[in-house]
Amino acid sequence: MAEHRPRCVLAFSGGLDTTVAVHWLTHERGFEVITLSADLGETKDAEELQRRALHAGATAAHVVDAKELFLTNFVWPSLQAGALYQGVYPLATALGRPLIARLLVEVARETGAAAVAHGCTAKGNDQVRFDVAVGALAPALQVVAPLRDWQMGRSEEIAYAAENGLAVRATKESPYSIDANLWGRSVETGVLEDPWVEPPEDAFDWTVDPARAPEAGLVVEVHFEQGLPTRLDGEELAPVDLVTRLNVLAGAHGVGRIDHVEDRLVGIKSRELYEAPAAVVLDFAHREVESLTLARDVLRFKRLVADEWAQLTYDGLWFSALRQSLAAFVGSTQHFVTGDVRLHLRQGAIRLLGRSSPSSLYRRELATYERAEDQFRHQSAEGFLNIFGLPLRTQASIQGNLLEESIPLLKSAPRGIAQGGPPADPADADEP
């Protein structure tokens, strides 16, 4: 009766969880399982992945090279937005999920599947991102999350795999839960669960210990074209090559480590470690080009948008109407964000050496303190300030005695007073 089983497309990583899930969905839930593995930069061996999926009982195993899609459709707009969750996390995992969800939906449509499935647990953000994104793209599709449904812990999963003859990767189990793609590597659990504990070196894979990084550091130059990085040290590079190379270069100098106590959507505070060398460098550099090319009020408003964008992305609302509207705003700000940034990466730190742009709003003849070159109209300052300060003067003259500023501060600060007047007797020159 196999031909009557409903189809389910499972996001498949090849690890223990999703391997067991293929078997479980087939035998406990009666699905015909099709797997989808999206390569966002970490898939080493696509054929091996496909073999594993088929061996576990999948009837077809799709592998999609989604690296470029990931960068151009998800990462680049977020870089332009300047989105960092809680001001620090460049959102690598959070940006990958909506893309995988969208690919799941597309394969489900192609194959006439009734359901999609993912291997996320009930405590994390990733389940939110999958479930909500699939709902936004295909409200009629059922979403199955085996790890939320089955009552197995890790050792039960290993036993289940052994009982059912599933090949589980023989590598030593990492003490951490890790998710990685081109934009960053997320590390959690194990000893990291104590926020007081310094992250051990074995938690890191992309970055060297800053204290052991080369003393001389490295100078890099990034070129942006309308808010997107296109050249590294003068060399034109495709997005995937640029990010891959920058991850290696910056990682070798210990740049890109982030230790974050973050607030999950499900209400839990969680200690997370990230390695995101390219993301950290590009975010830093992009801000510098914007500092030259965007107007003050746009910069300020854009910071609000960045925060909102980060939260929407983190919370799994990538496909919401608000995120799309914000994208229209962000896109409209990037037309002149073209220019170069020169940085010194050294022992975990980024130091700015310089920035330039053909559309720079910086004008030396306005900024300079050299009298001869100065074109700023000094005479206008007085009139400008007369009007700019008018509301405060008005209020002070009418309500001044009620304002906090009417309480003298002088009484509460030690004061020294030196008196002028006729030359003093040299004998008491040192007296105050």
- Report in angstroms how near the CB of residue 125 gets to ligand ARG at its nearest: 4
Surface-to-core class of residue 353, CB atoms within 10 Å of its CB (0-12 exposed, 13-18 middle, 19+ buried): exposed
- Report in angstroms how near the CB of residue 178 gets to ligand ARG at its nearest: 6
Q: Are 224 and 80 in contact (CB under 8 A)?
A: no
- Regarding 94 and contact with ligand ARG (CB under 6 A), the answer is yes
Q: Are 308 and 326 in contact (CB under 8 A)?
A: yes
How far is the C-alpha of 277 from the C-alpha of 299, rounded, in Å?
24
How far is the C-alpha of 319 from the C-alpha of 350, rounded, in Å?
33
Q: Which of 13, 29, 37, 126 is catalytic?
A: 126
Strands of the sheet with 349-356, listed across from one edge: 235-236, 228-232, 218-225, 339-346, 349-356
Nearer to ligand ARG, 270 or 333 (CB): 270
Q: Retrieve residue 379's tokens.
A: 């005479």
- The one among 32, 131, 272, 340 contacting ligand ARG by CB under 6 A: 272
SS3 43: coil
- Regarding 275 and contact with ligand ARG (CB under 6 A), the answer is no
- Regarding 350 and contact with ligand ARG (CB under 6 A), the answer is no
- Report in angstroms how near the CB of residue 100 gets to ligand ARG at its nearest: 12
Q: Which of 7, 17, 323, 357 is catalytic?
A: 17
The window from 68-76, 140-148, 173-181, 239-247 that contacts ligand ARG (CB under 6 A) reads 173-181
How far is the C-alpha of 77 from the C-alpha of 70, rounded, in Å?
10
What number of chain residues touch ligand ARG (CB under 6 A)? Answer: 10
The window from 151-159, 174-182, 236-244, 288-296 that contacts ligand ARG (CB under 6 A) reads 174-182
- Regarding 311 and contact with ligand ARG (CB under 6 A), the answer is no
Q: Which of 7, 29, 52, 97 is catalytic?
A: 97
- The one among 17, 126, 288, 290 contacting ligand ARG by CB under 6 A: 126
- Regarding 177 and contact with ligand ARG (CB under 6 A), the answer is yes
Nearer to ligand ARG, 179 or 340 (CB): 179
- Report in angstroms how near the CB of residue 240 gets to ligand ARG at its nearest: 21
- Report in angstroms how near the CB of residue 165 gets to ligand ARG at its nearest: 27
Calculate the alpha carbon distances from 326 to 98, 136, 428 in Å: 17, 17, 70
Nearer to ligand ARG, 43 or 338 (CB): 43
Side chain identity, residue 203: A
Does residue 271 carry a catalytic annotation? no
- Report in angstroms how near the CB of residue 46 gets to ligand ARG at its nearest: 21
Nearest 10 degrees: Cα torsion 407, 412, 414, 417: 30
SS3 370: coil
Does residue 13 carry a catalytic annotation? no
Closest CA to 289 of 299, 304, 279: 299
Does residue 131 carry a catalytic annotation? no
How far is the C-alpha of 275 from the C-alpha of 9, rounded, in Å?
30
- Regarding 93 and contact with ligand ARG (CB under 6 A), the answer is yes
How far is the C-alpha of 44 from the C-alpha of 54, rounded, in Å?
18
Does residue 17 carry a catalytic annotation? yes
Beta bridge partners of 117: 10, 144
Residues 241-270 that bind ligand ARG (CB under 6 A): none
Angle between helices 321-333 and 296-314 (to 10 degrees): 150
Residues 29-68 that bind ligand ARG (CB under 6 A): none
Which residues are part of the catalytic machinery? 17, 97, 126, 177
Which residues of this protein are in contact with ligand ARG, per CB under 6 A?
Answer: 93-94, 125-126, 177-179, 186, 188, 272
